Every structure is written in C-alpha cells, then in structure tokens.
A and B are shown apart, each in its own frame.
Chain A
Amino acid sequence: MLKLEPVIWGLFSGGMMIGGILLPVYILVVALGGGFGVVDGQALGYDRVFALATNPIGSLVLVAAAALPLWGGAHHLRHLWIDFGGLKSDGLVGGLFYGAALVGSVYAVLAVLRLHG
C-alpha cells in the first residue's frame, strides 16, 4: 500500500489541479455558453466537437478533465464528512466516495475510447 501512496496522492492533487483548471473552461463554454445560447452553434456542433474529442491531445484532455477531478472531489468530501464527526463511518463513506470515483473514472475512459471505436 505504501508503494501506491504516491499514485494515490497524485490522483488527489492532480484531480484538484486539473479539475480546477480545466472544468471551468468546459462549464463556461459548453454548459453556460451553450446553455444560454451565447456560443455560436457551429462551434459546439457535433462535427467540430467530435473532431476535437477524437484528436489524441483532445482525448487525453477529456480523460484528465473527466476522471481526475472525481478523485480530488471524493477526497475533499470524505474529509468534510470526517470533520463533521463521521470518523466512525469513515470506512463506509470513504469507500463509497472512492468507489464512485473509481467507477466514474472507468466510465470516463470508456466514454472516450468509444469515440475512437
């Protein structure tokens, strides 16, 4: 387990950094710009977004932005739970958060791989 520690901490810190840097771009352009109709429809059209997402760099960015933040988020929420007196149920709650991060990461990788299939 100790050998895995750098990997695990890498997931947490990478999740915070990558999530904090990349997700605001997605939210601003796709979710808010698209949602409010501010962004040009062609820019977010299927053909252009598909081409960007299937570009090797685009795919890597998508995997990083969709998978890593789950780990950073799970780590924060687990510790929030402990701060509010949830130490006794930490095993269960921590397992649920990290389990969700694991399932979500696999799902994100599969979602990107499907684009290439």
Chain B
Amino acid sequence: MTHAVPRVDAMKPSKPGPTRTAPPRPPDKFPGGGRYPAYLAFGACGAFLMISASLLTRGIWALGNGEAAWDAYRAGLGHPAYLVYHVAAFLGLTWFVLRLFRLFPATQPYRIGPLKRPPDAVLVAGLYGLFFTVLAVGTLFLGGAML
C-alpha cells in the first residue's frame, strides 16, 4: 500500500502577496480567568524588582555620601509609605521567586551537563532550600546576629 506524499506547498498562494493573518487578540479568559491572574501578577512583580533595586542603589549612593546621608536614608525608610511598599515588595518578591522555582524544572533539558536531570521535586526542593538558606543566613549576617 502506498501513501500519498503530502505536498509542502499545498497552501502556497498562486502569486506573491502580503501574508493575511488574523489580528492578535487576547485569549477568552484573559485577564481575569483561569491562570491569567497569577501569570499577570508574576509579570507585575517586575515592578518590585525595578523599584527595590533602585531604592537599594539610592542607599548605596547615600552610603558613598557619608554618615549623615546614610543616617538620613535609613531614617527615610521609616516613613509609612516606604514601610507599606516594602511589606508588599517582600511578600511579592518571595511569592515571585518561589513561583519561578516551581516553573524552573520545566525549562531544563533532560540532561544537565553529563548528568541526568534530577526529579522535578528534588530540583524544586533544592531551589527552595537555597532561597530560605540565603534569606536566613543573609538576615542573621546583615542584621548583626552573625559576625
């Protein structure tokens, strides 16, 4: 029994012309249904990354300006608006990075270098462990409880 060989140019237009494509439109449940709210919140955490990094840079700059500038920077962080922002940023970034780690195994190849990829649960547990270890050790160290 022979099979017909499909023609790869079966949809070829008779003459050259602009490609007609439907205009892009959002999926049916976008943005409030299904998994889209979490997906969009994940993307919106980019604002926490940019703003928090900028505030950190401002602090480094103040540090370079001397003790009075550094103390003024620290005193400024006690303003209610900063406190509210930083509570939200801490919660948002923690959720962001834990979600990133949950998605991480799906982005990895079957083999990582010469080794077979570990089971997804092991990979995720390792990344969670890394995050909470850095958070705990970093907090103790920077907070003066270590050294």
Q: Which chain B residues lie closer than 8 Å to A76 at the CB level?
A: 42-46, 49
B31, B45, B89, B143: which contacts A29 (Cβ < 8 A)? B143
**Interface size of A by Cβ–Cβ distance < 8 Å?**
61
Contact A24 B90 (CB under 8 A): yes
B44 touches A21 (CB 8 A): no
Whether B63 pairs with A46 at a CB distance below 8 angstroms is yes
- Chain A: which residue is nearest B78 at the CB level? A35
The B interface, classified by DSSP as helix, strand, loop or mixed, is helix
Task: Tally the A-B contacts, defined by beta carbons under 8 Å.
Answer: 182
* Interface flags, A25-49, vs B, CB<8A=1, else 0: 1111111111111011011101011
A72 contacts B46, CB within 8 Å?
A: yes
Spell out B's residues near A (CB within 8 Å): 24, 26, 30-31, 40, 42-50, 52-57, 59-61, 63-64, 66-67, 70-71, 74, 77-79, 82-83, 86-87, 89-90, 93-94, 96-97, 100, 130-131, 134-135, 138-139, 142-144
